[in-house]
Each structure stands twice: as C-alpha cells, then as structure tokens.
Structure 1
Amino acid sequence: MCRTSYNRAHSGCQPVNTDPLAALFAPLTSLRGMGPVVAGLIQRATGGERVIDLLFHMPESYLDRSARPTIRAARPDTVATLAVEVVRHERPATSRQPWRIIVKDDTGSAELVFFRFTRETQMPPGAKLVVSGKLDLFNGRLTIPHPDHLVPAEQADRIPLIEPVWPMTAGLWPRQVATGLAQALDLLPGFPEWHDPALLQREKWPPFSEALRAVQAPTGEPPPRRMRARLAYDELLAGQVAQAVIRGRVRARSGQPLIGDSRLRAVAMQRFGLALTRSQQQALGEIDADLASPRRMLRLLQGDVGSGKTLVALLSMLRAVEAGKQAALMAPTEVLAKQHFRTLTQLCPLPVALLTGSIKGRERARLLRGLKDGSIQIVVGTHALFQDAVEYRDLAVAVIDEQHRFGVTQRLNLGAKGERTDVLIMTATPIPRTLLLTQWGEMDVSRLTEKPAGRLPIRTTLHSLGTMPTVLDGVARKLDEGAQVFWVCPLVAESEALDVAAAEDRCVDLRRLFGDRVGLAHGQQTPEQRDAALAAFAAGTIRLLVATTVVEVGVDVPQASVMVIEHAERFGLAQLHQLRGRVGRGSAASFCLLLHEDWVNDTARRRLTLLRDTDDGFLIADEDFRLRGGGDALGTRQAGLPGHRLADPVEHEGLLHMAHRDAAVLLSRDPKLETARGKAVRLLLRLFERTAAMRTLAAG
C-alpha cells in the first residue's frame, strides 16, 4: 500500500495529502452540505472563506437552555425550554398579523408566535414538541416569538443545554454555524504539544483541540475561562515567536557603519537654539549606536505631540550625510511632507529637496538626477521617494513618518532603495505597551517622553453642549485678543442618523458671528480647497478654522492657542490627544475645550476626565486601549487586538507578556526550531498563518 504523498513508481497509487492542516485551510464548501450560499454568509460573518476561519470564529457569549420549567413556572424575559402539546393553530387574518400556535402542558397554556410560518403540517393538533426560546408576556399570556429551537418530543436531545452565541450576519442562522462547526471540529488533527509541560500543568490547560471543542461546542455548562485562555495563549505565542524570528532576521542583515564628526549636527543645533531634552539625548544615543554598528537599523521612534521627533530624525539623517551618504524622510501626505520640508530647511545646514507626486516635468527630472548622482544629500517627500523610477547614489538612512501603519513585511522592505539602508520610523501616536509587543515586536523602540523647553501646558476643560453661549463668548474674547482657534466637528455634513454637529453647518453658524475670519477644512473638499484653507489659517488670514479630523496631524500653526472639539465623547482618547496637540506650539497660553452631550455615560465621562487631568500621551494610549480595544495600530479599525481572533486585548494582556518571555527563551535554546517542541511550534506558526516567520525559517 502506498504511504507517500505521491509515488511515481506506482502508477495506480493515488496522491494522499498528509498535511495535517490541509483540511482546515480548505474552503468552507468542502464541508458536507455546505453550499455556496451558506458558505458566503459564514464568510461574511467570519471574515474568511476557509474552515479555519469558522473554527476561529469565537462566541461572544453563551445561552443557558438548561432551564426546563412548566408553563406555569416559566417567567417572562428568560430563556427556557418547554415540553408542550399543540392545541390549535390561529391563522392570521391579514399578512401583517402573526401566525399563532396555542400549546399546553399539564399546568397551563402558551403561544408560539411566527411572522413567517411554513410548517403547519409538521405540527398538527396533538403533536408533542419541545420548544426553546426567549419568553415574553403579551396580553397576559406567555409567548415565545420565533422559537430558537422547535423539535419533536422524541428529539429533545437535539436542543443544546449550553449554546454559543456567535457574531452573525443577516440571513445566517445559529444552527447553520453550529452544523458547520460540528464538521469542522471533527477535522481537527491530533496536534503535537507546542507548550512546555510545566506551563500546561500550572495553568491546567487541556490540549489545543480539546480547548477549541469546549469553546465552540460546550456540552453541559459554559466552558471554563482557562479553555479560552489556552487558545488565546496559542495565538499570542505564535505571534511572539514570529516577531522574534523576524527580529533575528533583521539583526542578522548586514549594514554599514556610519560614523560622523558632528559638524553638521552642531550647526543644526545652533539654529534650533535649545538643548536636547534628556529623552532626545537617550534616543539619539540609541540611534547612533545602531548607525555605528555593522547591522542594519530598524527602530521605532515614538514620541508624544511636540516631543521633538523631527529634530532627532534630522540629526540622524545628518549623521548619514557626515559619513558621505544620502538620507530621505517620507511622510504619508503631501501636506505633511511640505511641513517637514519647511522645518528641515530652517534647521539643516545643507540644501533640502522636496519630491512629491505633484512635482512634474523639468523640476522632477532635476530632482531624480540629483538623487542618482548624489548631489542631493537630503530629500523629503511622500511615497514618491520609493517609486521604481527613483534611484539613489547611496541611500544610508530612510526616515518614515508613520501616520498609517505599515505591515511587518513592508517595514522590512522600506529600505530597499539602498543596499544597506538603516530605517527609522516615527510615530506621533503613543503606542500602548500591548501593541508594541504584538505589532512592532520586530523593531527596537525609542521613546521621547518629555516636551521641549518652553512648551506651556495646555489647559483642558469639559463643557456640556448646553453651555454653548458661554463657550462662544470665550472664543470671541480670544479672537479679539488676536488668538487663532481650531473648531473640530465629528462630521462633514448634517446626518439624519446622528444628531451631532456638522462642520459645514457649524461654519455657517460661526460666520454669522465672526464673519469672514472663519474658514472650513474637511476631507471631502478637493486637496486644493483643503490646502488653501489650511494655508490661509497658517498665514493668519483665517482666524478660526472649522474642521474635521483632517487637522489631527500635519498642521503646525504656532499662533493657534484654542482648540474646541464638539461631541468629544464620540472621539477616541488618543485622537482627542492628537487634536489637542495642534495647540500649545507657540509662546501663548493654550486651551482645549471638550464639548460633550449634557448626559454622557460613565465610560465617556471617565475618558474625558482622564484627558482633562493628564497630558501624558503614553498613559492616555494605554487607557484608550483598555477602554476601546486596540484596533489596527494607528489604523482604522476601532476595537480588538489587531491581527488576533482568539485573544482579548484586555483580558489576555498578562498572557501576552508571558508569551513574549516564552518565545525569547524558546528561540534562545532552539533558534531554528529543530527540537521536538520546535517542530511543534513550526506547526503552530502555520496554524496561525505567520507566513513571514515561516519563510525566514525556511530560508535558514
């Protein structure tokens, strides 16, 4: 009998797939009875079209159907399972009325209510049924609208005692998910154990497949929390091992030592006019050590609003120029690229070039020649800097100002324009400790924790929308004193769905009060309109700028000293902190007014109070993560632990730190994952699709 995956010597031998994960990564339609319609609905709910996506679609909660009262003992607003007999059907007189089935037991009667009903022949009078669902009280009679389960009495065991509640989508029924999961769970192989036996014993964790079955198809009671913890730790360990493997790859890549004499840095610091803060000195020391080492740098520089990241980046770039090389700074938008260009031009002792997508013709050709022949030593721009047509003579340092998150693979390839380019990524959004481990673990991290000398604290106050006249009076006084004001709204135009301020409507209102001193900027304008409004505000022609969150980053107006944010409860804490950072950049005292609904819930009040009481962006980021979940790091998703389906961002944070240590110890003892446990961990990496790490391991 042929046991190999394919044996050419035996023409009658059929290929046998020996991959233990093959069935899990097969499409949903490979499950018996799973047609394309139901598979499509499950795909919409789970976000994937494979069996593994269904297996990892975690329940939100569990319904306890173990209560089996009589009709007389049943209580409204509870979930219960009743054994009943059909008395009669009450057919609706019109299509707008429900179909009612009167049922009874020895203690009383009740009604089953259906607005769509096609099973009359299956439930004739006298039929014995078991029905389960949410109980209501209507006109003094116990009812079960649209029962979740309705089966003949002899099939009562088909109704689960404990039923998972999964996130659903329109048209998908829980029984369809349960039916598919029953088959999917049967496909789970007997995985080798990838955890240390001592850990399993200490935490009382069962094998992976047993834990997954307990969570997805519990029998007599809801699964213990340790079952979900086991699954979460599997996912977190896969992530941490993958990060550590990639980090090892980064450290192994050869770089070029960059040594400078600090002559250009000295001129830049003289132009800046202030000494570096303690954390700037520390971050620059860490960067210099990276630049001087024979390995390539991949470092994240994270600092709060106004902490001086751009100065540290410039000094890093000047070290490359002092060593006879080139340096580039890439920003995510043209507005931000131009802002960096202006800042660097003021401080840099060398000419700085600007390359964006809007630069065409002869000017663009001149810039490309200068980058290729090395006459341009420092360039600032957008993604245009890394297009195929752009060639550098010797790009040694690439600085990425990261408004949007790059993936791990992108981060590894950002320096591809140079043979051995060192990469420094900046972010103005303080990153929670949990996300540093999950999303940025392959990078070294430097933090700027202080504000430069001369920065005054921003006074933050809370105001209900009912005090709007008082707020407007205060804004009028500040405008008369010569101040400039940001006024941020959560929407562009009036919304029928949300009763919140709209930037366009607010602009009309404020122009009635303050005339043509009021301007408008939002994301639905053309880039030319928006840039013109921002430029007019920066020049002082506009004194009050009504805007959406387009001003969150990349707008530097030192004269602006007042920030008003309407419906502040609708913004994330980190976003509010970023918006607040648009003021306080000059010498004048600055103010941030957070306007909120007259009545806000306790969580919203807690968030706004924290923002009022602290300007520590790292503390705010950690609290925002705990209150809202991480979302995509610096991205658009609003909740959850990015890249994870089994781990909860708050509940399993302790497990994340444990997995981080476990991965480090594992790889220190078995760097190529060649031991029995190492081979099992390789399977874990495949199970959780850590493909970049797998490719690195495969490449040796």
Structure 2
Amino acid sequence: MSSRPESLFPLFAELTKLDGVGPKTAQHLAQIDIEKPRDLLFSLPYSGVDRQKRASVLDVELPDVVTVEVLIGAHVPSRNRGGAYRVTVEDSRTAFQLVFFHARGDYLQRLLPPGERRIVSGKVELFDGVPQMVHPDHVLEVHEADEIPAFEPVYALTSGVTLKTMTKAAKSALERMPGLDEWIDPTQKSQAKWPDWDAALRAAHAPEGLKDLAATTPVRERLAYDEFFAHQMTLALARAKLQRAKGIISEATGKLQSKVLSELPYRPTDAQGRAIEDITRDMGASLRMNRLLQGDVGAGKTLVAFMALLVSVEAGGQGVMMAPTEILARQHLQGLRPLAESAGVVLEILTGRDKGKERNAKLAALARGDIHILVGTHAVFQQDVHFADLRLAIIDEQHRFGVRQRLELGKKGEGADVLVMTATPIPRSLALAQYGDMDVSVLDEKPPGRQPITTALVSTGRMDEVVAHLRKAVAEGKQAYWVCPLVDESESLDLAAAEERFKQLRAVLGEGIVGLVHGQMPPSEKDAAMAAFVAGETSILVATTVIEVGVDVPNATIMVIERAEIFGLAQLHQLRGRVGRGTAASTCLLMYQAPLSEGGQKRLTTLRESEDGFRIAEVDLEMRGAGDLIGTAQSGVPRFRIADMESQAALMAVAQSDARKLLNDDPDLTSPRGQAARVLLWLMEQDQAIRLISVG
C-alpha cells in the first residue's frame, strides 16, 4: 500500500471544506499547524467552561461564568461614543445588567427585544454591588437553550479565529471521520479499558467536566498511545530493516578479553559486565546488532567498547571505532593503546590528516587484515577505505546520529554489527523516542576509585579569591581548566573573552603556565595546546567549550566555569566530568553573575546537589521540554499533538514493545491488524515508515 488509503481522504482534504472555515480562517489556522481536517481532530480542547443553566446569577460565587434565563428590560444607550451601553435584565431572583462597548443600538434592540425572554451566558462580576455581564458569550432564544453544552470545550486559538469558529470546525471534522479497523492489540485494549478510535475522538472533543481533560482518562490515554504506537512502529520498521540485512555471526573465544581483564588494576563494575555480556551475545547471533551504550561521564564506556572490538578480532575479523573529531579520535587511541598492547592486538588511527604514502600504507594493511582495530573520524567512510572483514562499527555519538544515518552506516559494512555510544545520559522517555529502534545498555555505576567532585557556586564578584586559590593549586602541582562562556553567537566576541581571561591569568600566574584553546584556532595549534596541557607543560587551560567531550587529563582536578548560569545543565555536567578522573579530590567552581534568574538558580543548585547524570537529565527535560533538549530540528524526535513524552514515558514503553511484537508476528503487516496499523501510519503521517514498508 504505497498510496494513502481512500478511507482517509476526507481527513486530508482542504480545511475550507469544513463548516465556517473560509480561505482567511484557513490561513490563520495554519499558524498553529492546523492545515487539514486531520490536524483539527488531534487538536483537543485544553480546558472548558461550566455553562450548566442556573436559576439566578446569585446561585454562583461571583466572579464566574453563569448561564441563566432572563426577562429583558430597559436599554440605556451610552452618552458618549464607545461608552457603555446597558441593558437591564431580570432572572428568577434579581435584576442585573448586560454591558456592551462600541455597540450599535439597532443591533442590540434586535438581539435583546425588551419584554421578551432570552438565555444569556457569560462572565458575571460585581460592580458597586450590582452584578454585570460584559459582552455575553451567548445570547439565545429559550427554545435554543440546548445549543450551549453544559460544559463548553475551550481550544487553543490563534488571532483571527474565535472559539465559536474553532468549535464549529472541530465538529465538522468529526463528522468526516471514517470508521477504522483496530490497530491496538485486543488484550492491551481491554485491559486498559480503552474506547474505539472514533469514539475516543468524539469523547475527547465533548468533555463533560474538567476531569475529562486529564491525560490519564482512558479516552486521552488511548489517543496518546496511538501517536506513540505510530512513532514506535516507524522505529521498529527501521530496526527490522537494519537487522534483516543478514548479520555476521562473531563468536567470542574470550582469549583476548581475558588477557585484558587480567592486566586491569580493578574489576569492571556490574553494569560494565552486563553491557559486555549483552554485546557479546548480540554479536554471536545471526541478526545484526543495533545497540545503544548509554553511560554517564566516567562510567567506563571505553572498556566496554574495547571488549566489543575484541570480540570481532577473536572471531577473526576487524572492528572500527568512529569519533566525531580528530581530538577525540586521538583520545580514544590513547585510551585504547595500553589495552591493545596487553591483548597483543594491532591498533591504528585514520583521520583526514593522513596523506600520501602513509595513508596508502594504512589502507593496504587494512585491506589485508593486518590492522585489527581502526580508530578514526568520518574519514573511515571514504570510498577507498576497504576492510578485509569488518565485523563491528562503534560510533561515538557526539554528532547526533539519527535513524536515517544508522540506516546509511548499515550499508557500509555488509552485515557489520553496530554499537552507538553516548556520554549524554538521556531520560528514559527520550531514549525511547530517539533510539526506539535500538536495544539499550546503560552504565549507571561509577568504576571504583573515581573521586567524587565537590561543586561550589561562587559569584563573579569573588574573582580575586578564585585566582588566588588557583595560584596556590598550581604551586602544589595541580592542573585546572578555566572555561569561558560562549558570550553570544558571534565567535569573535567569545574569542575576545577567552583571550582577555588568558592574558589576565598569565599576568598573575606567570608565562608558560597558562594555555589557550578556542574554536577559531587551526586544528594543529589546538592539538598542540591540548598536548602541552596533557603533558603537564601548562598548568591551566583556558578554553571555550571545545573541551567538553572526551578529554582525559587525570592530573586536572579543578574546573572553573565562568558565567555558568548561561550554560545548559547537560553541558555543565559534561564539563564537570572533565575533572575527577585521577586519584586526587576534585573541585568544580560554578561562577555566576548575580542576580540569578529562577531557572539559572535551579540549574546550578541541581548540579551542586547531584552527580547523577540521569537525574540531571530528568531535571533538564522538565525545565526545557523535549524539543530544546535535543534540538528537535535535527533529532528526528517527533512533536506529538496529544501525547506527552515526559509524563507518559511508561505508555511509550508499552507502545514500543507492542510495535516490536506486531512486526515480529507479522513482518510485512499483511494480517488484518497489520493492515490497520498501515492505515494508522498514514493517518499519523509517518512517511519514513511508509517508505520502509513500500520498499520492504
């Protein structure tokens, strides 16, 4: 089914086909992403107004909305233009006033003829003891009373669209709704007591009270599940596609792994042990591995990654580890080299810097299989790079690797297993939304011997004390990072800030003690400055945020972050993780400019109180929302209209296992439920999934 099913045509028609929607209104609605009847169905009311009929305005605690039948009395036009035009009316217990501004008398005489009875509904307030209803929302003849629902739903509006127009359009969209076959597993549906799809939408647009607006009602929960399920079907299809490419069975012998483990000065943590087992098991299976290794700063991902690479070598093949930048690739090389030596494995690096003869020699060795493990940047993806027998590709995921790129990577190594590593702890709901096509291993324990980091907040007014503290530390042979803020988008200003700080510190602490790294430097200078710091030739490294990822200097025990309040939480946590890598106690000073905003304060205190990256990521998600956290534009995380990723993470997990089970039982979606799921993918505009089905 590679074209939209006919049953959905009415929902994908022009908005102007709906009652009360002209071309102009349609333009206004497009401002809030409503472009077709389908979008209106999924734009649910967010609130409601109690409009049940009362005997008198006195039956309600004012100010409040009241719906009441009245006898119309005298009209008192305003004395000046634009003043208040008043109409006296009486309900069963009291007289009150209807008030209009900028009103036309002839129109109001027709709307409210003296001596007749009408139903009026609107907000009533007391002015000088007299109840007044200014601009009633509804004025109806008595026999039309039923036109006002007892609880009137309120929709999000945009300028140029009234609630009346929106309500009418939503009603009209509901009338075009087709009956669709059920895509939810029957057991799941009856256990959760969910209604049918069309019944759920009708009920969601006709709430009977505030309780019906809660996300936890069966009606709304079902509709949220539908969104999650469609998204997870897309990810499950991508996963099936990656796995269907026949994997290579890489059997571990354990020979090389045990050599490395016996040389280590410590035992791996339980979390590392579990992750190594998962990966070894996946690599030994005939399906292709597609796994995410998630670990907090310093949780020991490098060891797990190396053990995985060794499985590919033990099985007679090769492994590759890719990093986003040259600095990081070299860092991996340094981290892995001692491990490779203890296992007697040949390890090489390939980056854009390799040229001519040297590069050719490396490529030849790689093609012969003389290099067992290759570390590199994107350069390993170039046309002329050939492996003798590539079994495993590890991607160090600092450059958001979306589903699409994972499918691409799958093509390069025919059947090679894929492991993506990320150092950014991701809250569970986001991990499900972004990496739902992968299996996940989490490293949530710190290896033994990692020192806790003391975090303190210091205002910029105390700069001199901080510098004095540094001078003392440097005299004791310690090393420190000093991170300057990204002042604004212009790099020249950041540069000025960093250079200024560099000069000041150099003046106070002496020549040759302070180094500088920033984004504008040529790579060779950057590497030289980093190398001098790693070697301990400089004691203080002034840097813009280029150092946040993967830099490992065990002797560095102080991290100063200037203007910490303008950094994001995750970024601060990553930066702090650059210290505390050796045996000495470490400190992180968060320097802020007073006064702190509420958000700034919450970020800095969260950081001071917790070193748990997952906890920090949850707070970050709460504060910023999912879109900002990963930059929705390039992340491939969908924007849901009804579902809420944060509060409904558990529902997302159910949707994931349901989607995987359906595809497992019915890979081509040909069963009645599979066909219904295809319709759901069209309904939810999951184009990527539809492409995967039509080519699959």
> Which of the five TM-score ranges fits, normalised by the shorter chain?
0.7 to 0.9
Which protein has the bigger helix share?
Answer: 2
State the shift of 1:611 in Å.
3.9
| Partner Cα distance (1:122, 1:490) in 2 | 65
Per-residue CA deviation, residues 484-517 of structure 1 (Å, 9 max, x unaligned), is 334456641499xxxxx98965874685466376
Q: How does 1:544-563 map to 2 (within 5 A)?
A: 544-545=540-541, 549-563=545-559
Counterpart position of 2:647: 651
Note closer, same or farther for the CA distance 1:197–1:426 as it changes in structure 2 (3 Å cut). closer
| 1:9 match | none
Task: Indicate whether 1:231 and 2:223 are aligned.
Answer: yes
Task: Please give the residue correspondences for 1:39-118 in structure 2 after superposition, counting only pairs within 5 Å.
Answer: 39-46=26-33, 49-64=35-50, 87-88=76-77, 99-106=82-89, 107=95
Q: What is the alpha-carbon distance in structure 1 between the residues aligned to residue 585 and residue 280 of structure 2?
A: 36
RMSD: 5.0
Amino acid at match of 1:307: A
| Aligned CA distance change for structure 1 residues 219 and 314 (closer, same or farther; 3 Å) | same
How far is the alpha carbon of 1:240 from its aligned partner? 4.2
Please list the CA deviations of residues 186-222 of structure 1 after superposition, one character each: whole Å capped at 9, or x if unmatched: 2221122333556555544332223223334547766
Which residue number corresponds to residue 22 of structure 1? 9
Distance 1:255 1:205, change over 3 A: closer
Matched, 1:414 2:403: no
8 Å Cα contact 2:57-2:66 kept in structure 1: no
The aligned counterpart of 1:450 is: 445
Shift of 1:590: 0.7
Q: Would you say the 8 A contact 2:547–2:575 is kept in 1?
A: yes
Alpha-carbon distance in 2 for matches of 1:639, 1:351? 33
Task: Report the equivalent of 2:585.
Answer: 589
Q: 1:213 to 1:485 in 2, by over 3 A?
A: farther
Give CA-to-partner distance per residue, 1:670-689, whole Å, 9 cap, x none. 56555444433343343334
Q: Using the alignment, how far apart are the partners of 1:281 and 1:222 within structure 2?
A: 47
> Residues 657, 446 of structure 1: CA spacing in aligned structure 2 closer, same or farther, 3 A cutoff?
closer
Q: Deviations over 1:652-676 (max 9, x none)?
A: 2333344445456656665655544
Contact 2:402 2:636 in 1 (8 A): no
1:594-633 map, 5 Å = 594=590, 611-622=607-618, 624-625=620-621, 628-631=624-627
In the other structure, the counterpart of 1:189 is 178
Letter in 1 for 2:86: V
Shift of 1:123: 4.9
Q: Do 2:502 and 2:516's aligned partners in 1 also have CA atoms closer than 8 Å? A: no
Q: In the aligned structure 1, how far is the partner of 2:136 from the partner of 2:506?
A: 60
1:371-410 correspondence to structure 2 within 5 Å: 371=366, 374=369, 376-388=371-383, 390-410=385-405
Aligned equivalents of 1:364 and 1:88: distance in 2?
Answer: 91
Pick aligned residue for 2:198 from 190, 209, 212: 209
Alignment of structure 1 residues 130-169 onto 2, 5 Å? 162=151, 166=155
Map of 2:423 onto structure 1: 428
TM-score between the two structures when normalised by the length of structure 2: 0.77
Residue 287, structure 1, aligned to residue 279, structure 2: yes
In structure 2, the gaps of 5 or more residues are 90-94, 113-117
Q: Which amino acid aligns with 1:460?
A: T
Residue 11 of structure 2 contacts residue 176 of structure 2 at CA under 8 Å; is this kept in 1?
yes
Does the aligned pair in 1 maintain the 2:450–2:582 contact within 8 Å?
A: yes
Partner SS, residue 425 of structure 2:
coil
Q: Which residue of 2 aligns with 1:13?
A: none
Name which of structure 1's ranges 468-477 and 80-89 shifts more when overlaid on structure 2: 80-89
Residue range with higher mean Cα deviation, 233-242 or 528-537: 528-537
User: Is the 2:238–2:437 Cα contact (8 Å) retained in structure 1?
Assistant: yes
- The one-letter amino acid paired with 1:426 is M
Q: Residue 456 of structure 1 aligns to a residue in which SS?
A: coil
Shift of 1:458: 1.3
Superposed, which structure 2 residues align to 1:223-262 within 5 Å?
A: 223-225=212-214, 226=217, 227-244=219-236, 246-259=238-251
Q: Whole-Å Cα distance in 2 between the matches of residues 51 and 43 of structure 1? A: 11
Distance of 1:87 and 1:639 partners within structure 2: 61
CA separation of 1:150 and 1:383: change in aligned 2, threshold 3 A: farther
Find the residue that maps to 2:212 and give its secondary structure.
coil
C-alpha distance in 1 between matches for 2:79 and 2:468? 66
Q: Distance in 1 between matches of 2:525 and 2:138?
A: 61
Greater Cα offset, 332-341 or 533-542: 533-542
- Pair 1:179–1:582, CA change in 2 (3 A): farther
Q: Residues 569 and 156 (structure 1 numbering): CA distance in 2 closer, same or farther, change over 3 Å?
A: farther
Letter in 2 for 1:310: T
Q: Measure, in 2, the Cα distance between the counterparts of 1:533 and 1:137.
A: 73
Call closer, same or farther: CA 1:438–1:121 in 2, change over 3 Å.
same
What TM-score do you get using the length of structure 1 for normalisation? 0.76
Shift of 1:423: 0.7
Contact 1:396 1:422 in 2 (8 A): yes
The 1:247/1:17 distance shift into structure 2, 3 A limit, reads: closer
- The letter of the residue matching 2:171 is A
Q: CA deviation at 1:691?
A: 5.0
Residue of structure 2 equivalent to 1:460: 455
- How many residue pairs get aligned? The number is 668
Once the two structures are superposed, residues 146-201 of structure 1 have per-residue CA deviations (whole angstroms, 9 ceiling, x without a partner) of: x7958787998877765555556666665555454333322221122333556555
1:425 Cα deviation from its structure 2 partner:
0.8
> Superposition pairs for residues 245-324 of structure 1, below 5 Å?
246-259=238-251, 274-324=266-316
Q: Deviation per CA, 1:304-328, whole angstroms, max 9, x where unpaired?
A: 2112212322332243344443322
Instruction: Name which of structure 1's ranges 460-469 and 51-60 shifts more when overlaid on structure 2.
Output: 460-469
Once the two structures are TM-superposed, the CA of residue 469 in structure 1 deviates from its matched residue by 6.4
Query: Given the superposition, is the C-alpha separation of residues 260 and 141 from structure 1 closer, same or farther in structure 2, using an over 3 Å criterion?
Result: same
Equivalent position of 2:332 in the other structure? 340
2 CA distance for matches of 1:421 and 1:638?
Answer: 26
Q: Alpha carbons of 1:152 and 1:615: their partners in 2 closer, same or farther (altered >3 Å)?
A: same
Counting aligned pairs with the same residue, the percent is: 44
Q: 1:469 to 1:152 in 2, by over 3 A?
A: farther
Greater Cα offset, 406-415 or 620-629: 620-629
Query: Which protein has greater RCO, CA pairs closer than 8 Å, 6+ apart?
Result: 2
Query: Would you say the 8 A contact 1:231–1:647 is kept in 2?
Result: yes
Q: How far apart, CA to CA, are the structure 2 residues paired with 1:494 and 1:196?
A: 50
Q: 2:667 & 2:282 partners in 1: Cα distance?
A: 23
Structure 2 residue matching 1:314: 3-state secondary structure: helix
1:429/1:644 CA distance change after superposition, 3 Å: same
Stretch of structure 1 that moved more, 24-33 or 683-692: 24-33
Q: Secondary structure at the match of 2:11?
A: coil
CA–CA separation in structure 1 for the residues paired with 2:147 and 2:670: 46
Aligned residue for 1:562, secondary structure, equals strand
Write out per-residue CA displacement over residues 427-446 of structure 1, whole angstroms, 9 at most, x where no aligned residue: 11223333343432332222
- Secondary structure at the residue paired with 1:20? helix
> How do 1:505-544 residues align onto structure 2 when only pairs under 5 Å count?
508=500, 512=504, 515=507, 538=534, 543-544=539-540
Residue 551 (structure 1) shift: 3.5
Which letter does structure 2 place at the counterpart of 1:314? F
| 1:233-254 residue CA offsets vs partner (Å, 9 max, x unmatched) | 2223334455455545555442
Deviations 1:62-98 (A, max 9, x none): 4556698989999997667799997446878xxxxxx
**How many Å apart are 1:285 and its aligned residue?**
2.7
